[in-house]
Amino acid sequence: MEERSISTPPLTTPPLIVTVRSTDAVGIVAAVTAAVARAGGNIVDLAQHSDEAQRAFGCRIEVTGLLERNVLDEALVELEATGLQCRTFDASARPKLALLCSRQLHCASDLLARIDLGELSCEVVAIVSDHLDAAVLARRYELPFHHLPVEADRSDQEQALGACLDGLGPDLVVPARYMRILPATLTERYEQAMINVHHSFLPAFIGANPYRRAHERGVKMVGATAHYVTAELDAGPIITQDVTPVTHAHDVADLVRLGADIERKVLARAVRLHLEHRIMVFGNKTCVFD
């Protein structure tokens, strides 16, 4: 029986992330991991999921080692000819992020602080707002600030926002409590590349004033939801959610304060998951490899 030599590969930076999507079938993981091995890669993390309802498969692989990228790229092209959708990402890359906000700045402030501390690996290209309140954040972090007020015709502002984003060229757009319904022309342009935080545990209390409506309903917990934005209000694929308990003794202001903490946390987590290519969308659901 022929013996095989297995050696510990030297680590290189940056590591590579490989994602694969396809119709579910036997042998997908074996084929992809064999391609990585032939290219000299060492798999340090692999997560996979099969969605039985849609017969869909997805996996995320982290690779280090002395990779021969041309060998890997050629092997992945061959696999794509069999129906697999393969993508590779440099794990050390810093995607461009555009931050949208209005007057409530707690989520935007939190994201900027986390990015500044190195908790989120991205480059903020600008803060865009329909009010001037966020200008102080732009000055604090030395970022470009684009003020796009809403005048009599809302569509003018929406067109200006689209033109602004076109000029910035972000990889990810984050409406951090932007508080405006975005037109389909924008949401479709940034499909699965625009993350919103909604201040309720969706699908409950969709739309405006969810904390007041939650208080009137007498809920025993409040929550927040981070989701990809679609043309349908607060109905995009949910990425992450969290809740905190409340009691009859809490008034609306208490619910708003408690909810704000949850909003910060779920939005930051969703952004991190997206930046690390840990999210796959199956229909209107997400698979999160975390």
Q: Which residue out of 45, 110, 116, 234 is catalytically annotated?
A: 234
| Residue 234 among the catalytic residues | yes
Contact 229, 196 (CB under 8 A): yes
Question: How is 139-200 classified by DSSP, letter by letter?
Answer: HHTT--EEE----S-HHHHHHHHHHHHHHH--SEEEESS--SPPPHHHHHHTTTSBEEEESS
CA distances from 288 to 95, 169, 272 (A): 19, 26, 11
Report the alpha-carbon distance of residue 234 to residue 43 in Å, rounded: 37
48: CB partners within 8 A, 6+ apart: 29, 57, 58, 59, 60
Contact 228, 192 (CB under 8 A): yes
Q: Which of 167, 170, 164, 239 is nearest to 198 (CA)?
A: 239
Active site residues: 234
